[in-house]
Structure 1
Amino acid sequence: MLEQLQRLQAHFGVLKNRLEQLSSENASLLKEKDNSDEQHHAQITHKNSIITQKQDEIERLNDVVKNLEDQLKTLNTDATTLADRYGRLEKSCTDLKNRFQEILAERNELRVSKENMLNQQRHANQEIQDLKTERERLVQKNEHAKNKVEAIIQRLSILGTEQDHHAQEIAQLAHPTDANEEV
C-alpha cells in the first residue's frame, strides 16, 4: 500500500504541478482573454465609429443622390420641353422654307410678268410713236389737201364772182327796173 500511496502522492504531486501549471495557464489565458476582450472591445468601438461615419456618409450620399435624381428629373423635363420646342422650330423652319420657296416662285412669276409688261409697254410706246408719226403725216396731208381745197375754192370764188358780176350786168341789162329798186 505504501507503494500505492507513494504512487498516489506522486500523482498528487504531478496533479498539483499540473494544477499549478493549469492555474498559471488559466491566469495567463484570462489575462489574454481580458486583453483580447479589451482589444475586441476597442475594435468594436472603432468599428462602431467607422460604421457611424459610414452611415453618416451614406445619409449624405443619399441626400446627394436625391438631389441628383431631382436634377435628373428637371433635366429630363427640360430635355422634353427642348425636344418639343426643337420639333416646333424645325416644323416652323420647314414651313418658312416652303413659304420662302413659294415667295421665290411668285417673285419669278412677277419678274416674268414684269418683263412681259415691259415688252408690251415698249411695243405700245412704239405703236404710239408710230401712230403719232402717222398722225403728223396725216395732219400734214390733211393741211395740204385743205390748202388745195381752199385754193380751189378761192379760184372758184374768183371765177364765181367774175361770173356773178357778169350775170348781174346781164340781169341789169335785161331788167333795168329791178336793179333800180334794189338800189
Structure 2
Amino acid sequence: MLEQLQRLKAHLDALNKRLEKVENENASLQQNQANSEAQFRGQISQKDDSIKQKQLQIDQLNQQLSQAQSQFKQLNTDATALAERYGRLEKSCTDLKNRFQEILTERNELRAVKEKMLGDQKKSQLQIEELQAERERLIQKNDHAKVKVEAIIQRLATLGTEQDQHAQEIQQLAHPTEQHEEI
C-alpha cells in the first residue's frame, strides 16, 4: 500500500511537472505571439509612413507639374518670344515627361510594395490565427490535465477511506472476542 501511495505520488509529481512544462510553453507561445504582433505592427507603421512620404512627393510633383503646365500656357500666349522660348519649352516638356515617367515608375513601385505589404499582412494574420488556435489547444490540454489530476486526487482520497474501512473490518475479524467483551 505504501508502495502504491509512493507510485501515485510519483505519478502526481510527474503530472505536476508536465503541467508546469505545458504552462511554461503556453507562456512562451503567448510571449512569442505578443512579440510577433508588436514587430508586425512596427513594420506596418513604417510602411505606412513610407507610403505617406511617397504620397507627399507625388503631390509635390503634381504641383510642379501644374506649375509647369501654367508656364506652358503662358509661353503659348507670349507670341513675341515664341521662337526664342520654343526650344526651352520643348526641353521643359521632355523633362516633364521624364518626371512623369519617374512618377509613374514610383507609383508602380509603390503599388508593388503595397501589394507585398498586403500579402505580408495576410500571412501575419494567418500566423496570428494559427498561434491563437495553438494557444486554445494548449489551454484545453492544460484544462484536461487539471481534470485528470483532480480525478486522481479524488480516487486517492476514496481509496484512503475504503482502505481504512477494510482495515477496521480485518481487525474486527481478527479480534472478535474483544467486540463481544465490550458488548
- TM bucket by the smaller chain? 0.3 to 0.5
Greater RCO between the two (CA within 8 Å, min separation 6)?
A: 2
Q: TM-score, normalised by structure 1?
A: 0.44
Structure of higher CA gyration radius: 1
Q: TM-score, normalised by structure 2?
A: 0.44
